[in-house]
Structure 1
Amino acid sequence: MPAQSNIDMLEKVKGSLEASKGVFVVDYRGLTVKEAQELRRALREANAHMKVYKNNIVRIALNEAEMPNIDDMLKGTCAYVFYEKDPVEAAKVLKQEADKLKKMQILGGIADGKAISAEEALAYAELPSRDELLAKLVYVIGSPLSGIAQVCAGPARGLVTALQAVADKQAA
C-alpha cells in the first residue's frame, strides 16, 4: 500500500497537469535557494510555475492522464515547469535563466500534446511570443489597408487643391 504522502503528491501532479497546457522538464542541480526563487518569480510572470516532484509519481500521473511518454527524461534531479498558456514565454524564461546561471539544463517536455526533446524546447525559446505575432499580424493586415486609403484619397485631395487654386485665382 502506497504512503499517504505519495498519494497526495500524485493528486497534486494530476492537478498541475490538468491546469496546464504542457510541461518542461529541467535539471536544476546546483541551483541555490535564491537562484531557484528568482527562477520561480520569472516563471510566474510568464504564466508558468516550477514544482519538484518525485519522478516515479510524475511518470504514474502522465500514464494515468494518457499523456506522451517522457520516461527517458525523468532521471536524476528534475523540476517540472508547468505553463498555463504559451510554451514560448516559459521556454524563453528557462533559456534565459539557464544561460545566465550556467547550472540548469532543459531536458525536454510535453508541448502541444506531444513529447519534445531538449533541442525542440530550446527552439520554442527562439520563436516570437503570441503577443509579438499578433502585433505583426495587425501590421501586415493594416499596411495594405492604409495604402489603399491613401490611393483612394489621392484624387479627392488633388480636386480640393485644384478648387482651392481656382478660388484663390478668382479672389485675386
Structure 2
Amino acid sequence: MSKYVKELVTRDIQRRLDGVEDAVVVSCVGMDANTTNELRGELGKKDIHMLVVKNSLARRATEGTNVAPAFEGATGQVGVCWGATDFVSLVKEIVKLDKDSEKYEKFVAGGGVMDGEKLDADGLKAVSKWPSREEQISMLVGQILGPGATLSAAMLGPGKMLNSQIKQKGEGDE
C-alpha cells in the first residue's frame, strides 16, 4: 500500500472514530464475507458499529485519542466495535456473541478501552456483569421512591386502621 493510500485510509478511520470514547476490539479473522455481513447486521440492529482495520493503521489513526490504548499489542486485522446506548450494553452484546454464538465461532472479544484505560478480555467479561444504564436508572428510581413509599404507608396506616374500626362498629349496630 502506498504512503498516499495509507494516509487516505488513516483519515477515513479517524473520521469514523471521531468522538468515540469507548470501544471494544474483536478478532474476526477467518470469517467468510456472508457471516461477517450477518454479524454486522445483527450488531447494527442494536446500534453497534463495527469497523475491521489493519492494526497499524488503526494505531496511527487513533494516536492521541482515548481509543488509542485499545490497539496496544494488537496484531493483524482487528475489528473495532462502538455504539449502543452505553458501554456496558456494548460489552454485554459483544461478550454474548463471543461465548454463546456457534454461528460466529471465529468472533473473539480481545479487549477494549473504557474512559481511556485499556481492558483485556477478562476485564471485558467483568464489565459485562455490571448493570446497564437502564438497569442503573431503575435501581436509582427505586431508591429514590422507596423512602417516600415507606413514609406514605406510615402516615396512612393509622388512618386506614381507624376507618376499618369505624366501619366494623357501624356494621355491628345493624
TM band (smaller chain): 0.7 to 0.9
Identity of aligned residues (%): 22
Residue 10 of structure 1 corresponds to which residue in structure 2? 10
Shift of 1:84: 5.5
- 2:47 paired with 1:44: no
Q: TM-score, normalised by structure 1?
A: 0.83
1:98-141 Cα offsets, whole Å, 9 max, x none, are 12133222111211221111211222222221111212222233
Aligned length: 170
Match of 2:3, SS? coil
1:35-61 Cα offsets, whole Å, 9 max, x none, are 222322232233320011222221112
The verdict on how the C-alpha distance between 1:148 and 1:66 changes in structure 2, with shifts beyond 3 A counting, is: closer
- Superposed CA RMSD in Å reads 2.3
Q: Which structure 2 residue ranges, 5 or more long, are not aligned? A: none
**CA distance in 1: counterparts of 2:133 and 2:170, whole angstroms:** 54
Residue 81 of structure 1 corresponds to which residue in structure 2? 81
Residue 108 of structure 1 corresponds to which residue in structure 2? 111
Q: Which structure 1 residue ranges, 5 or more long, are not aligned? A: none
Q: 1:149 aligns with which of 142, 147, 152?
A: 152
The verdict on how the C-alpha distance between 1:136 and 1:8 changes in structure 2, with shifts beyond 3 A counting, is: same
Residue 119 of structure 1 corresponds to which residue in structure 2? 122
Q: Which moved more, 1:159-168 or 1:11-20?
A: 159-168
The verdict on how the C-alpha distance between 1:77 and 1:117 changes in structure 2, with shifts beyond 3 A counting, is: same
Q: TM-score, normalised by structure 2?
A: 0.82
Shift of 1:169: 5.1
The verdict on how the C-alpha distance between 1:169 and 1:107 changes in structure 2, with shifts beyond 3 A counting, is: closer
The verdict on how the C-alpha distance between 1:23 and 1:66 changes in structure 2, with shifts beyond 3 A counting, is: closer
Q: Which moved more, 1:88-97 or 1:61-70?
A: 61-70
Match of 2:23, SS? strand
